[in-house]
């Protein structure tokens, strides 16, 4: 089964051979870069130790390059988020025979498909370097393009992203490293148990003879049957459909969010890849409300914030993937649009700068699916609304550490914004109660 999965992944990525040993995407990067180093050394070119990393690359890329003993040189991006070709040419020239590799994230962490990706690969190859394509974003490429075909020598994939393994939560993950045949001898082997020979497309089997990158010969083998089954059940058309769904979801979300926020990078046709960067900096400049404030306010609506301030400070990077359904995407967008509306209330002076929903979130009283009562919007019949009023209208920041039960029990009548007698004991008791059982969720099967 493992050998079959290796060949399937090689076929899907356009490479010749795959090692399933790395336990994470970043470990796959390390394995790939070590293979590149060993390849150069085998040709008497061990002086090649510069790794070009575009500013649009994923953050782990530079870290892996350093761990692999390479020197990182950053290549600038242009105004559209693509690799700046002039800067790339200059850096290639500057480093000449020291050039070991470039690491491209494709599509990039800026959420764009590099239009000149083939040219980038050619320029590096012509200078004697190898091309590492970070393939963790393969859920935006699968069955549409293959990194091994557009110029990559080696890539890692994240099974915990594109192939049905949950991303996050502490693992385990698998970051298979896929390579062209000339790198096969340098992919991670294992001195003890791993099968020595691995399938190489068109060549039968060949050993992976590099040093191990993980203790276990096949990394996290217990999850490989999930990926095997996913590929088998989806088939080529199903995998292409999933790619389309991931890209469509990101574009739908970007288009709806652009009603209130700026999308930092788009391609020439105004579209994004499978993720988009929502630029909150103009919003912050106008309203004073920061990316952290929006993140905390999102909790009130039942969402954990998306990736914050990466790869660009002051932004959200949002990646809905193929797995979120339309209702969930709409719910998230609605919350973001509502948050933008709330900010306008502060800008227009309806809500004071120091007494508004942005002070002291998260508030209580909104369930996981955002159905209960956003404290500010629903007229404050909720516990959280009462609590907000008890703390001053929305909860002043200096009181954020206060225990809500204490606040209510201590007597709220003297707080500003309260009218009439307060059912203190009742509220305090309610705050101690466990949450009410949830109504059945029509989407629960997901």
**What is the rounded CA–CA span in Å between residue 64 and residue 197?**
26
What's the first-to-final CA gap in the chain, in angstroms?
Answer: 27
Pick the stretch among 11-19, 21-29, 121-129, 234-242 that binds ligand PLP (CB under 6 A).
21-29
User: Per CB under 6 A, does 138 bind ligand PLP?
Assistant: no
**Residues recorded for the chain:** 446
User: Per CB under 6 A, does 19 bind ligand PLP?
Assistant: no
Cβ nearer to ligand PLP, comparing 134 with 342: 134
User: Per CB under 6 A, does 136 bind ligand PLP?
Assistant: yes
Q: Are strands 307-308 and 315-318 parallel, antiparallel or unpaired?
A: antiparallel
User: Per CB under 6 A, does 137 bind ligand PLP?
Assistant: yes
Cβ nearer to ligand PLP, comparing 135 with 370: 135
Tell me the residue number closest to ligand PLP, measured at CB: 25
How many CB atoms sit inside 10 A of residue 241's CB? 15
Pick the stretch among 18-26, 265-273, 370-378, 395-403 that binds ligand PLP (CB under 6 A).
18-26
The CB-of-86 to ligand PLP minimum distance in angstroms stands at 25
Pick the stretch among 133-141, 288-296, 336-344, 363-371 that binds ligand PLP (CB under 6 A).
133-141
H helices present in 68-197, as ranges: 85-95, 117-126, 147-150, 159-162
Query: Residue written as tokens 């306010």?
Result: 297
Q: How many C-alpha atoms does 95 have within 13 Å on its Cβ side? A: 26
User: Per CB under 6 A, does 32 bind ligand PLP?
Assistant: no
Which residues are paired to 17 by β-bridges? 179
Cβ nearer to ligand PLP, comparing 136 with 289: 136
The CB-of-208 to ligand PLP minimum distance in angstroms stands at 20
User: Per CB under 6 A, does 58 bind ligand PLP?
Assistant: yes
CA-to-CA separations, 216 to 1, 9, 18, 34, 194, in angstroms, rounded: 17, 20, 16, 18, 9
247 to 276, contacts with ligand PLP by CB under 6 A? Answer: none
H-helix or E-strand spanning residue 422: none
- In this chain, which of 134, 153, 324, 373 binds ligand PLP, going by CB under 6 A? 134
Rg value, the chain, Cα: 26
- Tokens of residue 312, six digits: 């660009």
**What is the rounded CA–CA span in Å between residue 112 and residue 268?**
10
Contacts 24+ apart (CB under 8 A), 327-331: 327/443, 328/443, 329/249, 329/252, 329/253, 330/256, 331/369, 331/370
User: Per CB under 6 A, does 311 bind ligand PLP?
Assistant: no
Q: Are 387 and 348 in contact (CB under 8 A)?
A: no
- In this chain, which of 13, 21, 55, 60 binds ligand PLP, going by CB under 6 A? 60
* Count of residues that interact with ligand PLP, criterion CB under 6 A: 12
102 to 121, contacts with ligand PLP by CB under 6 A? Answer: 105
Pick the stretch among 46-54, 131-139, 281-289, 389-397 that binds ligand PLP (CB under 6 A).
131-139
143 to 182, contacts with ligand PLP by CB under 6 A? Answer: 158, 173, 175
- In this chain, which of 5, 20, 25, 77 binds ligand PLP, going by CB under 6 A? 25
The CB-of-175 to ligand PLP minimum distance in angstroms stands at 5
**What is the rounded CA–CA span in Å between residue 233 and residue 54?**
36
Q: Which residues contribute to the site for ligand PLP (CB under 6 A)?
A: 24-26, 58, 60, 105, 134, 136-137, 158, 173, 175
């Amino acid at each position: 089964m493992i050998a079959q999965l290796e060949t399937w992944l090689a076929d899907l990525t356009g490479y010749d051979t795959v090692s399933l040993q790395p336990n994470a995407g970043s470990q796959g990067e390390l394995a790939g870069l070590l293979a590149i180093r060993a390849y150069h050394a085998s040709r008497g070119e061990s002086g090649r130790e510069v790794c070009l990393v575009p500013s649009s690359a994923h953050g782990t890329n530079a870290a892996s390059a350093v761990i692999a003993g390479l020197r990182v040189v950053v290549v600038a991006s242009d105004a559209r988020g693509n690799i700046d070709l002039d800067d790339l040419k200059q850096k290639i020239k500057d480093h000449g025979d020291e050039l070991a590799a470039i690491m491209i994230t494709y599509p990039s962490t800026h959420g764009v498909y590099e239009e000149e990706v083939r040219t980038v690969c050619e320029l590096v190859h012509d200078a004697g370097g190898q091309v590492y394509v970070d393939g963790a974003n393969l859920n935006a490429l699968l069955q549409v393009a293959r990194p091994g075909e557009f110029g990559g020598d080696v890539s890692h994939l994240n099974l915990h992203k594109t192939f049905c393994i949950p991303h996050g939560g502490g693992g385990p993950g698998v970051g298979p490293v896929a390579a062209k045949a000339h790198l096969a001898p340098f992919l991670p082997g294992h001195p003890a148990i791993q099968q020595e020979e691995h399938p190489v497309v068109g060549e039968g089997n060949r050993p992976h003879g590099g040093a191990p990158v993980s203790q276990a010969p096949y990394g996290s083998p217990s999850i490989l049957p999930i990926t095997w089954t996913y590929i088998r059940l989806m088939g080529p058309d199903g995998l292409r459909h999933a790619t389309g769904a991931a890209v469509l979801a990101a574009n739908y979300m970007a288009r709806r969010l652009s009603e209130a926020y700026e999308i930092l990078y788009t391609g020439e046709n105004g579209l994004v890849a499978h993720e988009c960067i929502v630029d909150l900096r103009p919003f912050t400049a106008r309203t004073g409300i920061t990316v952290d404030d929006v993140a905390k306010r999102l909790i009130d609506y039942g969402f954990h914030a998306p990736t914050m301030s990466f790869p660009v400070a002051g932004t959200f990077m949002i990646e809905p993937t193929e797995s979120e359904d339309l209702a969930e995407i709409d719910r998230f967008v609605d919350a973001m649009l509502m948050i933008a509306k709330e900010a306008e209330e502060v800008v227009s002076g309806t809500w004071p700068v120091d007494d508004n929903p942005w002070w002291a979130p998260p508030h209580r009283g909104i369930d996981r699916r955002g159905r209960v009562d956003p404290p500010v919007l629903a007229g404050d019949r909720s516990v959280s609304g009462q609590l907000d009023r008890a703390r001053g209208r929305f909860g002043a920041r200096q009181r954020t550490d206060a225990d809500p039960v204490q606040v209510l029990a201590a007597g709220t009548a003297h707080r500003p914004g309260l009218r009439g007698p307060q059912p203190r004991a009742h509220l305090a008791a309610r705050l101690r109660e466990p949450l009410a059982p949830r109504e059945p969720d029509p989407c629960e099967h997901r």
